[in-house]
Structures are given as C-alpha cells and as structure tokens.
Structure 1
Amino acid sequence: MLFFTEPDQQLTEEEFRLIRDLIYHHCGIFFDSDSKYLLDKRLYRRLVHHSLGSFREYYQFLKYHPKRNEELSDIMDILTTNETYFFREGFQLKAYTDEILPDLMKLREKERTLRIWSAGCSTGEEPYTIAMLMLEMGCFLGWRVEIVGSDISQRVVQQARKGVYGQASFRSTEEHYLKRYFVKTPDGYRIADQVRELVSISHMNLFDANRLALLGKMDVIFCRNVIIYFDNDAKKRLIDSFYHTLSSGGYLLLGHSESLMNLSTAFALRHLKNDMVYQKTVAL
C-alpha cells in the first residue's frame, strides 16, 4: 500500500524558474511566483515516477531526455484543467448556428467548403458539439465540412478519439441529442459515426509553428478558456497565429471571460444578437 507524504525534495527558487521557463518556452503556459507551491506539489509525483533524486535532475530530464516531449505532454494534464462538457456556453453556440454559419454560407457559397478548428479541445466534447449542431441545421448537404479538434495533452486526445462519455459530459445536453447522436454502451455513451465522420482529433502544441502551418486555413476557430493560461506575450503570439490561420471573413470565438483587449487590434469585434465575437475583415 502506498502512502503519500509531503515531498522530501522541495523546489528551490532557481529550480522553479528553470522548470517554469522551460514549460513556458514549450507551450506558452506561464506560472508566476505564486504558483511555486503548485509546481512543487504536483511535479513531485513525476520525480517519484522516474526515480529521480531532485528537481534539478528532473529539469535535466525535461531538457535532454529522449522522452522529454512525452513527459512535457504528461505534465500538461497535471498542471492544467480539462473541465468541459457538451453544449457548453450555449449563448455562443446559438450565435454560431443562427448568425455566424449563415454569414459564412454566403461567403463560401462558391467553394462550398467549411473548416472549423477547436483549439484546445480537451476530451472532444466541443468539436463533437459543433458537428451535431451543423448536422441539426441540415443545410450543409453537398458541402465539405471539416472539424478539427486539437490538444496538447496526449491523454485527452486519446479520450476524444475514443468518443465515449459519462454523465458528467451531458449536464447541458437535451435528450434529443443524446438519442440521435449517441449509442449507449456498457462504458457510457459513444458518439455516433455520422458525427465522428465530420471530426478529426490531433495532438498539437499551439506554439508549434510547423504543425500550425500544416493545419491550413480555417473559417472558424474556437479557442475557449485556453488563453487564460498564458501571459500577455504568449497570448499576443497565439492570437497573431490565429489571425493568419483564419480565412478572409473567418471568426474567432473565445471563452466568455476572455477578450482581445490590449492583445490585438487586427480583428473586428462583432456585436451579434447572442454574443460578441471577433471576425477577420473580409478581403475586398
């Protein structure tokens, strides 16, 4: 039987700065000095897991070990929150179906192609929600619709690809959606194939420029409750990359507590009936 006690090794100020800065340069997540205790407490488990004698050794592991990227991915699960559920922030989703998509249908009527990115999709509820809403609209028959979900955590990416969910994911889901788009299994509710066919799930670091370039242009980017983990410099870099990833007239949807104030003036703020969103100006 294992008993968890207070760490024998504690982060020194120098070790904290080294590990914090390494994480920041890897993925943009910044931990201020008040977070030292959090890193100390949560990362100590990784020292035990790898049989390391000190945080200095752990820093060397993160910097030079062949499995460093795998470890950095693992600790994202430890240091961030993956709280999500289907149909989250319904007012914004209504703006998406009632106002944004009709606008994009007009803009893309020649190409009849729409590409949507759920950046920081966690366990997949968001991209699958987007797919269900578009299927419900029934006006994209004959269109090429592609929904991409991505996350930095390998664990949640695997869970999203599996597409099986428990009751906690359905706190805002109407019975109609549950019956139409899910299959009950012994492990929970599995997303139906017609939804899954519209969605692809990828492992991606939002600050990996090479991976971002391969993603291609997007018409809508959902990035909700993600930038809260970044400092202003990292936020500006990310928003700038979103701007260049969006097609002309494309939309950026952030979480209800997030905004581009003091971060970017490149987007137009659109006051829709159901929500405020950001749009890349339509090229004339």
Structure 2
Amino acid sequence: MLSFEPEIPMSEEEFRLIRDLIYSHCGLFFEPDSTYLLEKRLAKRVLLHQLSGFRDYYHFLKYNRKKDQELSDIMDILTTNETYFFRESFQLRAFTDEIIPEIREAKLKAGDRTLRIWSAGCSSGEEPYTIAMLLLDMGGFSGWNVEIVGTDISQRVIQQARKGLYGKSSFRVTDDSYIRRYFTEQDGMYRVGDKVRELVTISHLNLLDCSRIALLGRMDLIFCRNVIIYFDQLARKTVIESFYRTLKDGGYLLLGHSESLMNISTAFTLKHLKNDMVYQKPLAGAVGGRS
C-alpha cells in the first residue's frame, strides 16, 4: 500500500509565526525558503491534534496547556541527529595528544584532581561515550573525579543515549579494538560497557536556557560540534556567551570543522595546535584572543 504525506498548506504568515515561535524557544532558525520543509514535517502534528490548519497549530503551540510537551516533541522532528563514534579524528587527536595533557599537568600543579567535560548537542550519545573511551585509553586519571556531561534538546535522542545501544552505522570509523574492549554484543547491536557509562551523564537541555546551563557548573572543556550552524547570529552569540561563562579560565571550546567564532565572539583565543585549531578561554588577567 502506498503511503502519502498529508497535504496541509502553510501560508507565509503562518510560516513566520511558527518559525519565530520555534526560534524563541530554542534558537533554531529557518530561512524564508524553508516553508515547504516546515509544512512537510509538521503536517502530521496538525492532523494528530485534529486541528484545521497551521494557524490553529500556532495557537496550540502558544497557548495550549500541552504546548511545552509539543515543542519538545517537534524538536525530534526538526533537528538533525546523524552522528557516529570517533567523528572528526584530527580534532580528537588534538584532544588526547595536546589538550588533555596540558589540562592534566596544570591541574596536578594546582592540586586539583577533577576533570569536567561538556558535550553540548550530544545527539544519541556517540560523542560523550567517545570522549570517555579516549580518556580510559589514555590512563593517568586514577583517583580523579572525571565527569562527562552530554546534553541535547531532543528527548528522543536523549533516550537513545541513555540506553547506550548502537547499530553498525555508529561504528563506521571505529577501530575493532574499541568495540571488543568497551562494548558487548546484544541482538545484533552493541551496548556501551559500564566502565564507559560510569563517566558519562546524559541530560535534556536547551542551549538557550541560560539558567539551566548555570546549574551545570564550571567545565574544563566543551565540545559543541555541528550545532551552532543551525542557529542565526543572535542565537549563536547567546550560546557562545554561555559557553564562555561556563568554561573555567584556560578551558577549551571545540567546534565542528565547518564552524568558527568569526563575527560571533572575540573573547576566546584561537589556538593553533599540531592537529587542529581550537578556541581557549584566556586565563584570568590575560588579554582576550581573536576569532
């Protein structure tokens, strides 16, 4: 039997209303030529709630008592969550070979044995679990309090991350030795082992929710890769300012290979490492960097 997408037209005004409401909620920005995309992805929600069209759906999103749940649900529909283990290997080499040794040495000198890393926009969890495996492989953190916090706005992928169960597509660049050491096979899939999971906490978080971000506490390093490309300039600035406040002095911000802080922030120093270029929050009293 053929399956057809429901056809519910979205006017330009309805597009602007819904687009702006989504933007104010989470910072996701849709260009004017995205009307068809929103129309196609949200038409089923209009039918689900037995509404007559997108104007009624806008009022549902704005005023219905279930509006918060609906906004949470459509984040799963509107966000792209394609990822895999050990993504952007050159940056991960910078992490293991240059950044972490520097952070560890500075902390040992200060008598501090804590390491806190935030994977912002962690999707289904491959990134924070990758970070945990890399740290376990490095060693040198016995007796330390190591915490990796993965957050995402999509409840669906958060549930996937908490289950820690992955299919073959997640391992497209993963060396077999990692699978043997850190995963157990289960019904044709692979479950993350307890040794890795013990280092990782997965939480739901909207990156525009500054008050919730403040509750995370200070971080030594933030991964936010291929996330801010979905935001407009104002939302990017808001998120990067939150990252700056959250990072400890001297902490690092790692963005995706196609992302930069150009025209967003000059508060960070652009640091040229052997394996990659990364952003660092200057030490207290130091002059800010360039973007």
Q: Using structure 2 for the length normalisation, give the TM-score.
A: 0.95
**2 CA distance for matches of 1:112 and 1:31?**
43
Deviation at residue 67 of structure 1 after TM alignment: 2.1
**1 CA distance for matches of 2:67 and 2:210?**
19
Q: 2:120–2:152: 8 Å Cα contact kept in structure 1?
A: yes
**1:69-96 deviation digits (Å, cap 9, x = unpaired):** 2211221221121010000000000000
**1:199-225 deviation digits (Å, cap 9, x = unpaired):** 000000011122111111000000000
Name the structure 2 match of 1:44.
43
Q: Cα RMSD over matched residues?
A: 1.1
Q: 2:84–2:170: 8 Å Cα contact kept in structure 1?
A: yes
Q: 1:164–1:187: 8 Å Cα contact kept in structure 2?
A: no
Q: 2:5–2:40: 8 Å Cα contact kept in structure 1?
A: no
User: What amino acid does structure 1 have at the position aligned with 2:105?
Assistant: K
Name the structure 2 match of 1:209.
210
2:95 pairs with 1:99: no
Identity rate, percent: 68
User: What amino acid does structure 2 have at the position aligned with 1:14?
Assistant: E
Name the structure 2 match of 1:55.
54
Name the structure 1 match of 2:64.
65
Name the structure 1 match of 2:174.
173
Name the structure 2 match of 1:220.
221
Number of aligned residue pairs: give it: 283
Moved over 6 A (4+): none
User: What amino acid does structure 2 have at the position aligned with 1:87?
Assistant: F
User: What amino acid does structure 2 have at the position aligned with 1:237?
Assistant: T
**2 CA distance for matches of 1:187 and 1:53?**
44
**2 CA distance for matches of 1:148 and 1:64?**
33
Name the structure 2 match of 1:136.
137
2:134 pairs with 1:151: no
Name the structure 2 match of 1:264.
265
Q: Using structure 1 for the length normalisation, give the TM-score.
A: 0.97
User: What amino acid does structure 1 have at the position aligned with 2:48?
Assistant: H
Change (3 A) 1:59 1:186: same
User: What amino acid does structure 1 have at the position aligned with 2:252?
Assistant: Y
**2 CA distance for matches of 1:39 and 1:32?**
11
Change (3 A) 1:218 1:175: same
Partner of 2:215, secondary structure, is: helix
2:4 pairs with 1:4: yes
Unmatched segments (≥5 aa) in structure 2? 286-291
Deviation at residue 177 of structure 1 after TM alignment: 0.2
Q: 2:6–2:43: 8 Å Cα contact kept in structure 1?
A: no
Unmatched segments (≥5 aa) in structure 1? none
Partner of 2:51, secondary structure, is: coil
**2 CA distance for matches of 1:237 and 1:5?**
36
Further displaced range: 106-115 or 166-175: 106-115
Partner of 1:190, secondary structure, is: strand
